[in-house]
Amino acid sequence: MKTFFKLFIFSIFLSPYSYCQTNMHDFSVTDVHGKQHKLYNDYLNQGKVVVIKFFFTSCPPCIANAPLWQQKYVQHGSGTQGVEFFSVTTITSDYDPTIQGFEAIYNQTMKGISQDGGAQTIANPFKNGTYGSWWGTPSFAVIAPDRSLVYGVQFSQLDAAIATAKTKVGVVPSTVNLQVSTFGPDIPSDHIKFFISPKGSNSPKIEIKKNAQGEYSFTYPSVTVPEMIDPEITMESYAQAYTSQITASDLVVIQKHILGLTLFDAAYKLVAADVNSDGKVTASDIVNIKKVIIGLTNEYPNSTPSYKSIPEKISFTASAGVTISPEFIVVKMGNVN
């Protein structure tokens, strides 16, 4: 009976289903030859499989495995056939020169990551139990393009694990270019901000900043804007009620509209004139704008912001490799000229 029990336990640890299966965290590291590697952007988002060997340079089993590890790397195209290999040290005393020496002695040509290059950012979550039991060195992890991780893969199981990972297609990022229309002078950059967050939630809440060309543009999903459930873009106003865009001539235009002499010629002006947010344009709005112009107050009633966007929010669905162009009209409250 004892013999059967031992064989049963042993079979569990040899089972191909005994390893941890979850999603892998992103990382950015630099190999021992100075090249930076970003897991999501450089590999998974490009449809590549990543295989990691955890080792350290004085580990006898790691040394014994080194020739086989190199053969496996060559077998899978040496990084040219949609599979990339990383050798990641697990000890803090393995610096770049140490691993460079190891590579030279044992002919290791995959990506070597030392303490200098950020190895611990990869290794620590495995060692602290985030991905289940730590399997020691050498141990192997396979990451699919959809970011799913299998850890605790035996060396003899690597080919099968890599083949399975290749079938798990990742998300092909979309480019999101916000189309922002304004009226009158340009809006100062610190007056409004755009954010992306999951619908109905502020966690995470990520600001969408302008790129070098002055455009609100980002890649989704990406390292800076991770994948979310029902992503939604909103605009927030950070300016006081008064800006130089509001003048006495706005009061005249609004009054003519109220009297029916000259109606607004654009729908956005109905929004801009309703500074107390009661859904209509009345003499009360003229009074509140006048108070802002002459400096009696720096806020509109009922928490009306200095700027509003039309629409208030935009939800979008990413389509693989497609450029999405959500359109916002930004209205300066009180400005109808």
- For the segment 106-113, the average pLDDT, to the nearest whole number, is 98
Two structure tokens written together for 158: 């690597």
Which DSSP symbol is given to 25?
P
Distance of alpha carbon 69 from alpha carbon 62, whole angstroms: 9
Whether the per-residue pLDDT at 257 is higher than 90: the answer is yes
* DSSP E strands, 46-154: 49-55, 83-89, 111-113, 139-143, 148-153
Whether the per-residue pLDDT at 61 is higher than 90: the answer is yes
Two structure tokens written together for 294: 């002459």
If you search the block for the tokens 């990383």, which residue do you land on?
Answer: 86
Under 8 Å between Cβ of 190 and 328:
no
What end-to-end distance do the CA atoms of the chain give, in Å?
A: 91
pLDDT at 11: 33
Residue-averaged pLDDT of the chain: 91
Find, among 27, 31, 54, the residue nearest to 112 by Cα.
31
Which tens digits make up the pLDDT trace of 282-299? 999 999 999 999 999 999
pLDDT at 69: 98
pLDDT band for position 335 (cuts 50, 70, 90): very high
All domains of the chain in start order, with CATH: 18-166 (3.40.30.10), 174-332 (no CATH)
If you search the block for the tokens 């304004």, which residue do you land on?
Answer: 182
Total-model pTM: 0.56
Distance of alpha carbon 234 from alpha carbon 256, whole angstroms: 33
- For the segment 70-80, the average pLDDT, to the nearest whole number, is 97
Whether the per-residue pLDDT at 233 is higher than 50: the answer is yes
> For residue 264, what are the contacts with CB-CB under 8 A and spacing of at least 6?
253, 257, 270, 273, 336
Which tens digits make up the pLDDT trace of 1-29? 333 333 333 333 333 434 566 889 999 99
ω into residue 61 within 30 of 0, thus cis? no
